Structure 1
Amino acid sequence: MFFVIRVRGSTGVIADIKDTLDLLNLTRISHAVLVEENPSMKGMLQKAKDYLTWGEIDAETLTEIIEKRGKLVGGDKVTEEYLKENTDFSSFEELANALINAEIKAKDINMKPVFRLHPPRKGYESIRLTYNEGGTLGYRGEEIIDLAKRMS
């Protein structure tokens, strides 16, 4: 499962790329989504690589993000009480593991698929260079965990 974060804004974006970002539910800077690791999603990420960064997320980090930033449809926070009463999960850890293993989707439990994060503490490296060149954009593998923690 990929954790995808939008890094750059919408000024001057080509229409095809803007449509791809909309399909990924990444309409604003510092929004993040969970995306399945399949060829069609990889193609979408590759198409919008100049506006996104992504990598594999672990259950511990996702648990922290759901706890701090998870919202239900309607705007309420996701709480453990809600999980116990309305889902088969009794904790954030169980929910995070199920999401990472693609057993469920966020909308199945009435949770918004987008996480609205803060800008990262100490800022981005560079929003015009790829991760391999010392910037922020593109695929970063396990290093997405560090960025996600700085943004949560």
Structure 2
Amino acid sequence: MPLYAVIRIRGTVDVPPDIDKTLYLLRLRRRYTASIYHDSLPGLRDMLRTVEAWTTYGEIEERVLEELLRKRGRIVGDKPLTDKWVEENLGLSGLGELAEKLVSGELHYHRLEEKGVKPFFRLHPPRGGFKKSIKRMFRDGGELGYRGSAINELILKML
């Protein structure tokens, strides 16, 4: 059961209403925001297929997820997500254990919103820029759509 990282690549201008609604539901409301979801969520694959011309997605690794949580994870009040906060509020030993439980499927990141964790990550544009077109699919030599484990390299460039 993979854990998908979804990153919005294209902006907000001229987005059709149905795609805009789907991006809103995925909590991808701005360019260069990311969310993580389990494959087990009903309808996720259809949603990803709907917005693949505006996003890129793939399976995230545990080490990359831990670094993403450490550098870009936020709680309410735009404060950083820290090991101390995770210990006090979630009862876990730290961000490493949180990443482990997210990858294994024991926890769902978007459901931690009730505890005060923001369900998305604000990323930087990739260091060095995109090497290919952001108007073409990854399989056709672009940056959009499904990219498998190559999403990890992109996330590390965007932290």
Q: 1:61 and 2:64 equivalent?
A: yes
The share of aligned pairs that are identical, in percent, is 39
Residue number among 103, 114, 117 corresponding to 2:120 in the alignment? 114
SS in 1 for 2:121: strand
After superposition, residues 125-140 of structure 1 pair within 5 angstroms as: 125-140=132-147
Shift of the alpha carbon at 1:102? 2.5
Shifted more, 34-43 versus 115-124: the winner is 34-43
Structure 1 residue 108: Cα displacement? 4.9
Unaligned runs of 5+ in 1: none
Q: What corresponds to 2:99 in structure 1?
A: 96
Deviates more, 1:135-144 or 1:37-46: 37-46
| Greater strand content | 2
Deviation of 1:113 after TM superposition, in Å, equals 0.7
Number of residue-to-residue matches in the alignment: 152
Q: Quick check: 1:42 aligned with 2:49?
A: no
Task: Return the TM-score normalized by structure 2.
Answer: 0.91
Is structure 2 residue 22 aligned with structure 1 residue 31? Answer: no
Which residue does the alignment assign to 1:146? 153
| Partner residue, 1:13 | 15
Higher mean C-alpha displacement, 88-97 vs 63-72: 88-97
| Cα distance in 1, alignment partners of residues 82 and 26 from structure 2 | 25
CA offset digits 1:105-140 (Å, max 9, x no partner): 332542111000000011122110110111100000
Unaligned regions of 5+ residues in structure 2, if any? none
Q: Which runs of 4+ in 1 moved over 6 A?
A: none
RMSD: 1.2
Return the alpha-carbon distance in structure 2 between the equivalents of residues 97 and 128 of structure 1: 34
Once residues 30 and 134 of structure 1 are traced to their aligned partners in structure 2, the CA distance between those partners, rounded to angstroms, is 20
